[in-house]
Amino acid sequence: MKAAVCLLAGIVGVIVVAVLSRPIEPPQPASQPTLSSGIEISHFDPDVRPQDDLYRATNGRWLATTEIPADKSNYGAFTQLADAAEAQLRGIIEGLSARSGKIAGSVEQQVGDYYAAFMDEIAIEARGLAPIEAHWMQIDALADAAGLPALMAHLSRSGVSMPLEPWVHQDAEDPNRYTGDFYQAGLSLPNRDYYLIEDDTFAAIRAAYLRHLETTLKLAGIDDPGPAAAQILDLETRIAQIQWDKVELRDPVKRYNPYPRDKLSTLGANIDWPGFLDAVGYGRLGTVLISQPSYVEGLDALLGSVPLTQWQTWLRWKVLQAYADILPSAFVQADFAFFGTTLNGIRENRPRWKRGIAAVEGALGEAVGQIYVQRHFPPESKRRMEAMVQQLIRAYAIAIDQLSWMGADTRRAAQDKLSKFTYKIGYPDRWRDYSSLQVRADDVHGNRRRAAEFEYDRNIAKLGQPIDRHEWSMTPQTVNAYYNPEKNEIVFPAAILQPPFFNVDAEDAANYGGIGAVIGHEISHGFDDKGSQYDGDGRLRMWWTPEDRQRFEALGARLAAQYDRYEPLPGYTVNGRFTLGENIADLGGVTVAHQAYRLSLAGGAAPVIDGLTADQRFFKGWAQVWRRLSRKENLLNRLKTAPHSPSEFRCNGVVTNLPEFHEAFELKPGDGLYTAPQMRIKIW
**Tell me: the pLDDT tens digits for 302-335?**
999 999 999 999 999 999 999 999 999 999 999 9
- CA within 13 Å, CB half, 75: 17
Alpha-helical (H) ranges within 420-516 are: 444-460, 508-511
Signed CA dihedral, 628, 578, 571, 634: sign only:
positive
Angle value at C-alpha 327, between 322 and 329, nearest 5 degrees: 125
Q: How many helices (H) and strands (E) does the chain have?
A: 27, 10
As its CATH architecture, domain 145-327 has Orthogonal Bundle (1.10)
Cβ–Cβ < 8 Å for 407, 80:
no
**Phi-psi map region of 10: left, alpha, beta (phi>0 left; psi -120 to 50 alpha):** beta
Q: Left if phi > 0, otherwise alpha if psi is -120 to 50, otherwise beta: which for 251?
A: beta
| Amino acid identity, position 603 | G
pLDDT at residue 1, as a whole number: 57
DSSP code string of 193-238: HHHH--SHHHHHHHHHHHHHHHHHHHHTT-SSHHHHHHHHHHHHHH
Q: Are 332 and 144 in contact (CB under 8 A)?
A: no
Res 381: pLDDT: 86
For residue 500, whether the previous peptide bond is cis, meaning omega lies within 30 degrees of 0, is: yes
Q: Where are the domains of the chain?
A: 20-84+377-431+478-679, 145-327
CA distance 383 to 241: 50
- At residue 231, the pLDDT reads 98
CATH 1.10.10.60 given to domain 20-84+377-431+478-679? no
- Between CA 296 and CA 164 the distance in angstroms is 8
Please give, one letter per residue, the 3-state secondary structure of 351-391. CHHHHHHHHHHHHHHHHHHHHHHHHHCCHHHHHHHHHHHHH
The segments of the chain whose pLDDT lies below 70 read 1-33
* pTM given for the model: 0.92
